[in-house]
């Protein structure tokens, strides 16, 4: 990572550049995993959703927004092989917001199954929702243990969330043909059981929030090895190919480079038992970086999503 200049803006360096700079200065410590691992196996994670950045209120119901805010944080606990225990919810809302809408938001949070144990509410000029999730884990594999010879696995099909977002952008919120994809975007899966099962065998484990391309790159960098992913083995959710074609994209771009699928990505020794639903998509080798290969073994370049850019 090159040294930053005084006039750099967030748009210049991107989210990953900012995090690398803070880490280089010693202003954050041990932040490479999905959640902070504290003494006693306590695992803590926090994610914020901002109106106009992560969601638009004409694309998502208050109930789904609450569910999603809880689910994306519970996903980081799943990626830590943790048992969730509590959520802390901080809300920023315009004063004109209906109380009934806020109640619906909390009903959505409750649907995710982890109790809200505290938080804060403040006035804001647009909706802002930050959830902290706490749990306990016996063992957090983290991102740094992948070794040559390991298999790369995912817990389920990818691309539905990205395709759902494209449907929303195209004004298809109420189109029955797009319903499953829109739902996938607004209601990420909870992979807690898979996370605990993988936690017992995985050499690296994380959730796919920024897209397989970016997130596989995180494991490669932290582990000091090379991840070779075969596109033909990547499970793509139903309906993704059609939406991709309609948007002038490939299904691989939606499945591997769009993000927000919240399936788990793991590396496991070849003899390890895999939980149901897990699919092998590639292997770890000596070297660096993550690449996607087509059927002929040629590299296909796919880029992930990065905030601020
Ligand atoms: Mg994560």
Q: What is the pLDDT of residues 214-251, one digit of tens each?
A: 999 999 999 999 999 999 999 999 999 999 999 888 89
CATH number assigned to the domain comprising residue 205: 3.90.650.10
Q: What is the pTM of this model?
A: 0.91
For residue 176, how far is its CA from the centre of ligand 1 (angstroms)? Answer: 30
For residue 224, how far is its CA from the centre of ligand 1 (angstroms)? Answer: 19
Same domain, 262 and 201: yes
Backbone angles phi, psi at 160, to 5 degrees: -65, -40
Residues that place a CB less than 5 A from ion ligand 1: 34, 76, 207, 209
For residue 164, how far is its CA from the centre of ligand 1 (angstroms)? Answer: 20
Q: Are 201 and 269 in contact (CB under 8 A)?
A: yes
For residue 100, how far is its CA from the centre of ligand 1 (angstroms)? Answer: 31
Same domain, 12 and 107: no
Residue-wise pLDDT for 126-135, tens only, equals 999 999 999 9
pLDDT given at position 308: 46
pLDDT given at position 248: 87
Same domain, 281 and 217: yes
Backbone angles phi, psi at 8, to 5 degrees: -60, 140
Same domain, 249 and 227: yes
Kindly state whether residue 143 falls inside one of the protein's structural domains.
no
Categorize the per-residue pLDDT at 14 as very low, low, confident or very high, splitting at 50, 70 and 90: confident
Domain count, the chain: 3
For residue 101, how far is its CA from the centre of ligand 1 (angstroms)? Answer: 28
Residue-wise pLDDT for 17-45, tens only, equals 898 899 899 999 877 778 999 999 999 99
Whole-number Å distance between alpha carbons of 87 and 114 = 7
Question: What would the mean pLDDT of 264-272 be, rounded to a whole number?
Answer: 97
For residue 287, how far is its CA from the centre of ligand 1 (angstroms)? Answer: 24
Residue-wise pLDDT for 150-188, tens only, equals 999 999 999 999 999 999 999 999 999 899 999 999 999
> Which positions ≥6 away from 300 have C-beta within 8 Å?
231, 252, 292, 293, 294
Kindly state whether residue 71 falls inside one of the protein's structural domains.
yes
Residue range(s) defining the domain that contains residue 235: 151-300
For residue 296, how far is its CA from the centre of ligand 1 (angstroms)? Answer: 32
Same domain, 79 and 158: no
CATH number assigned to the domain comprising residue 112: 3.30.1330.10
């Amino acid at each position: 990572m090159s040294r930053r200049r005084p006039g750099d803006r967030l748009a210049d360096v991107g989210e990953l550049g900012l995090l690398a700079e803070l880490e280089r200065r010693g202003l954050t410590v041990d932040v490479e995993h999905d959640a902070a691992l504290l003494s006693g196996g306590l695992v803590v994670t926090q994610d914020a959703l901002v109106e106009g950045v992560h969601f638009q209120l004409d694309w998502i119901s208050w109930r789904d927004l609450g569910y999603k805010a809880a689910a994306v944080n519970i996903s980081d606990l799943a990626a830590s092989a943790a048992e969730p225990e509590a959520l802390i919810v901080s809300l920023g809302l315009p004063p004109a917001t209906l109380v009934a809408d806020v109640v619906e938001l909390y009903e959505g949070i409750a649907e995710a199954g982890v109790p809200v144990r505290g938080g804060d509410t403040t006035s804001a000029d647009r909706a802002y929702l930050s959830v902290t999730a706490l749990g306990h884990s016996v063992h957090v594999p983290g991102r740094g243990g992948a070794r040559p010879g390991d298999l790369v696995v995912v817990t389920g099909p990818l691309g539905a969330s990205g395709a759902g977002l494209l449907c929303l952008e195209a004004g298809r919120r109420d189109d029955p043909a797009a319903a499953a994809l829109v739902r996938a975007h607004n209601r990420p899966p909870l992979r807690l059981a898979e996370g605990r099962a993988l936690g017992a065998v995985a050499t690296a484990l994380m959730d796919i929030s920024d897209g397989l391309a970016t997130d596989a790159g995180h494991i490669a960098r932290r582990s000091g090895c090379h991840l070779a992913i075969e596109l033909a083995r990547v499970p793509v959710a139903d309906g993704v190919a059609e939406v991709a074609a309609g948007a002038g994209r490939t299904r691989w771009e939606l499945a591997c480079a769009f993000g927000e699928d919240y399936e788990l990505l793991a590396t496991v020794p070849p003899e390890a038992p895999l939980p149901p639903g897990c699919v092998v998509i590639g292997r770890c080798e000596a070297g660096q970086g993550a690449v996607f290969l087509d059927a002929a073994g040629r590299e296909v370049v796919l880029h992930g999503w990065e905030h601020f850019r």
